[in-house]
C-alpha cells in the first residue's frame, strides 16, 4: 500500500477535534476565509468541477455538475441539505465525521451554499444519531457565536442560516426525494422525478442534497486546489474516501484511503483480515445495496465507482461487509431481504409487494420448505422489482426511487453466486419431509 496521509480523518484522534478551537487549530475555516477573499461563487463551482469530486452518498454524481443544474433565472430561494441520514447497513463513516469533525462538514456547507447562493441550509440527521445530534448542535452554536454562520459571515456580506433537522427512523429518508418530503413534514415517500431537486426540491425550490463526506471534502479542495485533489486516487475517481469495514474482520472500523484502493488491501491490511484466520467467502463492497462479490472475484478489484460497476456491483456507500466461510448465505440473504421489506416506503407496487414476497419465499427456503422453483422465482421477482443484471430479461429501473434496485441487486447476487447453498437448503427440506 502506497503511503497516504488521511485528509478527512487526519486529526480525529485529537481529543478536541470536534470543537471549533480544535478544528481551527489544525487549519479549519481557512478555506472559507480564502474563498470569501478571493473567489466568486462561479469560481468555486469551477474549482469543484475541476477537482472531479463525485458524491459520496452512493450515486457518485459529480458535485459541481449537480450545482450547475440550478436554474440561473429562478426567483425562488435555493436550499442546501446535508444528507446525514446514514442508514445503509454496513455504513458508519458519516457518523464518524459528525462525531469527530462536524466543523469540517459545516465549512463544506458554507462553501457549497456560497457557490449555489443558498442562505438557508439544513442538516438532515438520522433520528437515531442522538449523541451526534448533540455534538452537531454544539458545533452550529459555536459557528453562530463566531460569525461563521448568520449574517455577513466574516464580513463577506454572505448570510447563511443552518438548521439541524432530525429524522425519525426511516432508511428511505436517505434517498434525496424521500428526504425532501420528510423535511417538509410529510412521510418519506420519494417524489417522482422529474422534476429533479435541483429544479424543484424542498418546498418546490431548487435544492441540492449532498452527503456529509462530500461536503467535508470541499474545504480541502479550496485549500489545496483541484489539481491536488485530482492527484489522489485514480482518474476514475479522485480524492480521499472513507471506507467502512464490518462483519467478520479483526479490525472493523472506518478507514480513509484514496478512491481506487484495492479491496483486498482494505479487508486484509486495514481490516486486519478475517476473525480466527477464517477464509473469506463473500463481501458487500458498498453497503447492503450492492451486489455481493465472491472471494474469487475480488483479486485486483479497485474501490472506485467505475471499477466496481464494471464488476456488476457498486461503490455505493463504501460499506464493506465481510462474510467468512462459516456464514450461512441463505440466512444472510433473508436478513437483507427482511431489512428491505421493512424499509420499503411502500408506494411503488413492485417494491412494496415484491420485497415481502421475497422474504416469504426466502423464509420458506430457510425453514426447509422451499423448492427449486422458489429459487427461480427469486430471480424473477428481483428482476421484476429492479432487475439490473440480466438485461435480456427486461428493463431496469422499475420504481420511483433506486430502492428497487437496491433490493434486487444484493438478493439476486446471493442466489446467483451461492445457488448451491440455496439448493442444499431445498434438498435438506426434501430429506426431512
Partner 1 sequence: MAQNRTFKFTNPQRVEKILSQYPDKRSATLPLLHLAQEQEGYLTSAAIEAVAELVEIHPGEMMDTVSFYTMFYTKPMGKNHVQVCQTLSCSLNGADSLVDHISEKYKIAHGDVSQDGKISLVKVECLGSCDTAPVIRINDSNYESMTVEKFDKIVESI
Partner 2 sequence: MPLIKIDDKEIEVEKGITVLQAAIDERIEIPYYCYHPALSIVGSCRMCLVEIEGMPKLQVSCNTTIGELPPERKKDGKYDMIVRTQTEIVKRERENVLEFLLLNHPLDCPVCDQAGECYLQDYSYKYGRAHSRFLEEKRVRKNEYLGSNVIINHNRCIMCTRCVRFTREISGTNELFVQARGDVSKISIFEDKSLDNMLAGNVIDICPVGALLSTDYIHKNRFWNLEAKKSICTDCSVGCNILVYSQNNRIYRLNARENHNVNGYFICDIGRYGFHRYEDAEKVTSPLIRSDGGFKPISWEGALKEIYEQFSMSMSGEKQQIVGIASPFHTNESLFMFGRLMNNIFKDKSIIGKLPFIEDYEIHFDSGFRISKDRSPNRKGLLDFCPNLEDEILQKVKAGEVRLCYALDDGVDRKLDEEWESFFKSQRFLVVQTYAMTPLAKLAHLILLGPSPMEREGTMTNDQGRIQWLNPSVSLTNKTRPDWEIIMEFMNTVGKRELKYTSVNEVNLEMGERFPDYRGRTFFKIGYQGLPKKNITTSRPSEGRQAIQ
Residue numbers of the site for partner 2 (CB under 8 A)? 170, 187, 192, 194, 341-350, 352-357, 360-361, 364, 377, 384, 394-400
* Residue 352 interaction partner, one of ligand SF4, partner 1, ligand FMN, none, beta carbon < 5-8 Å per kind: ligand SF4
* Residue 344 interaction partner, one of ligand FMN, ligand SF4, partner 1, none, beta carbon < 5-8 Å per kind: ligand SF4
274 and 305 Cβ atoms separated by less than 8 Å: no
* Residue 254 interaction partner, one of ligand SF4, ligand FMN, partner 1, none, beta carbon < 5-8 Å per kind: partner 1
| Cell numbers placing 199 | 429544479
Closer residue to partner 2, CB minimum distance, 46 or 353:
353
Measured from the CB of residue 147, what is the shortest distance to ligand FMN in angstroms?
Answer: 27
Closer residue to ligand FMN, CB minimum distance, 260 or 316:
316
Place of cell 462459516: 326
306 and 352 Cβ atoms separated by less than 8 Å: no
251 and 245 Cβ atoms separated by less than 8 Å: yes
Closer residue to partner 2, CB minimum distance, 166 or 352:
352
Binding of residue 246 to partner 1 (CB under 8 A): yes
Contacting ligand FMN (CB under 6 A), which of 80, 109, 172, 245? 172
State the residues that interact with ligand SF4 by CB under 6 A: 172, 190, 344-348, 351-352, 399-401, 403-404
Binding of residue 240 to ligand FMN (CB under 6 A): no
85 and 190 Cβ atoms separated by less than 8 Å: no
Binding of residue 244 to partner 1 (CB under 8 A): yes
User: Across the strands, what pairs with 234?
Assistant: 237
144 and 86 Cβ atoms separated by less than 8 Å: no
Closer residue to partner 2, CB minimum distance, 190 or 233:
190
Binding of residue 402 to ligand FMN (CB under 6 A): yes
x/- string (CB under 6 A) for ligand FMN, residues 287-326? ----------------------------------------
Instruction: Fill in the DSSP letter of residue 367.
Output: T
Return the residues of window 109-138 that contact partner 1 according to CB under 8 A. Answer: 120, 126-131
Q: Is-cis flag, bond preceding 195, omega within 30?
A: yes
Q: Is-cis flag, bond preceding 194, omega within 30?
A: yes
Binding of residue 61 to ligand FMN (CB under 6 A): yes
* Residue 174 interaction partner, one of ligand FMN, partner 2, partner 1, none, beta carbon < 5-8 Å per kind: ligand FMN
Closer residue to partner 2, CB minimum distance, 181 or 257:
181
Measured from the CB of residue 280, what is the shortest distance to ligand FMN in angstroms?
Answer: 27
- Rounded to 5 degrees, what are φ and ψ at 200? -135, 95
61: CB partners within 8 A, 6+ apart: 54, 55
Alpha helices in 184-225 (DSSP H): 212-224
Closer residue to ligand SF4, CB minimum distance, 125 or 351:
351
| 173: Cα separation from own chain's centroid | 12
Place of cell 418546498: 203
195: CB partners within 8 A, 6+ apart: none
Cα(351)–Cα(330) distance, integer angstroms: 21
Binding of residue 319 to partner 1 (CB under 8 A): yes
Cα(103)–Cα(89) distance, integer angstroms: 25
x/- string (CB under 6 A) for ligand FMN, residues 244-273? ------------------------------
Return the residues of window 321-340 that contact partner 1 according to CB under 8 A. Answer: 321, 323, 327, 332, 335-336, 339
| Cell numbers placing 403 | 430502492
> Taking the alpha carbons of 1, 288, 229, 103 in that order, is the dihedral positive or negative?
negative
Task: Identify the helix (H) or strand (E) that includes residue 34.
Answer: helix 30-38
Measured from the CB of residue 169, what is the shortest distance to partner 2 in angstroms?
Answer: 10
Closer residue to ligand FMN, CB minimum distance, 88 or 257:
88
- Rounded to 5 degrees, what are φ and ψ at 279? -80, 145
Closer residue to ligand SF4, CB minimum distance, 302 or 398:
398
Strands 233-234 vs 237-238: parallel, antiparallel or unpaired? antiparallel
| Chain residues in the site for partner 1 (CB under 8 A) | 77, 86-92, 94-95, 120, 126-131, 161, 163, 165-171, 182-189, 203, 244-248, 252-254, 284, 288, 319, 321, 323, 327, 332, 335-336, 339, 342-343, 345
Amino acid at each position: 500500500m502506497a503511503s497516504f496521509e488521511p485528509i478527512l480523518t487526519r486529526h480525529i484522534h485529537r481529543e478536541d477535534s470536534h470543537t471549533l478551537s480544535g478544528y481551527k487549530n489544525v487549519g479549519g475555516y481557512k478555506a472559507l476565509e480564502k474563498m470569501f477573499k478571493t473567489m466568486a461563487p462561479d469560481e468555486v463551482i469551477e474549482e469543484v468541477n475541476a477537482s472531479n469530486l463525485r458524491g459520496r452518498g452512493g450515486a457518485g454524481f459529480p458535485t459541481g455538475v449537480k450545482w450547475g443544474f440550478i436554474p440561473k433565472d429562478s426567483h425562488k430561494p435555493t436550499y442546501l441539505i446535508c444528507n446525514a441520514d446514514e442508514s445503509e447497513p454496513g455504513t458508519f463513516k458519516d457518523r464518524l465525521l459528525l462525531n469527530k469533525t462536524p466543523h469540517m462538514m459545516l465549512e463544506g456547507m458554507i462553501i457549497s451554499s456560497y457557490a449555489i447562493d443558498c442562505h438557508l441550509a439544513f442538516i438532515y440527521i438520522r433520528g437515531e444519531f442522538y449523541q451526534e445530534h448533540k455534538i452537531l448542535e454544539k458545533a452550529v452554536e459555536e459557528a453562530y457565536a463566531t460569525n461563521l454562520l448568520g449574517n455577513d459571515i466574516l464580513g463577506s456580506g454572505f448570510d447563511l442560516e443552518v438548521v439541524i433537522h432530525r429524522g425519525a427512523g426511516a432508511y428511505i429518508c436517505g434517498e434525496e426525494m424521500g428526504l425532501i418530503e420528510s423535511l417538509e413534514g410529510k412521510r418519506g415517500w420519494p417524489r417522482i422525478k422529474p422534476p429533479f431537486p435541483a429544479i424543484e426540491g424542498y418546498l418546490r425550490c431548487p435544492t441540492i442534497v449532498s452527503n456529509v463526506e462530500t461536503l467535508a471534502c470541499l474545504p480541502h479542495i479550496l485549500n489545496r486546489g483541484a489539481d491536488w485533489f485530482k492527484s489522489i486516487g485514480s482518474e476514475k475517481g479522485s480524492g480521499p474516501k472513507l471506507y467502512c469495514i464490518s462483519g467478520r474482520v479483526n479490525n472493523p472500523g472506518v478507514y480513509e484511503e484514496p478512491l481506487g484502493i484495492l479491496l483486498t488491501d482494505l479487508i486484509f491490511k486495514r481490516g486486519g483480515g478475517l476473525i480466527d484466520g477464517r477464509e473469506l467467502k463473500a463481501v458487500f463492497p458498498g453497503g447492503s445495496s450492492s451486489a455481493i462479490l465472491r472471494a474469487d472475484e475480488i483479486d485486483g478489484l479497485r474501490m472506485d465507482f467505475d471499477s466496481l460497476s464494471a464488476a456488476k456491483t457498486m461503490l455505493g456507500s463504501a460499506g464493506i461487509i465481510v462474510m467468512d466461510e462459516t456464514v450461512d448465505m441463505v440466512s444472510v440473504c433473508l436478513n437483507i431481504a427482511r431489512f428491505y421489506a421493512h424499509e420499503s416506503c411502500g408506494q411503488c407496487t413492485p417494491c412494496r409487494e415484491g420485497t415481502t414476497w421475497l422474504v416469504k419465499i426466502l423464509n420458506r427456503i430457510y425453514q426447509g420448505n422451499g423448492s427449486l422453483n422458489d429459487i427461480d422465482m427469486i430471480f424473477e421477482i428481483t428482476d421484476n422489482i429492479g432487475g439490473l443484471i440480466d438485461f435480456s430479461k427486461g428493463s431496469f429501473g422499475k420504481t420511483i426511487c433506486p430502492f428497487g434496485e437496491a433490493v434486487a441487486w444484493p438478493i439476486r447476487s446471493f442466489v446467483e453466486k451461492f445457488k448451491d447453498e440455496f439448493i442444499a437448503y431445498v434438498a435438506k427440506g426434501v430429506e426431512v419431509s
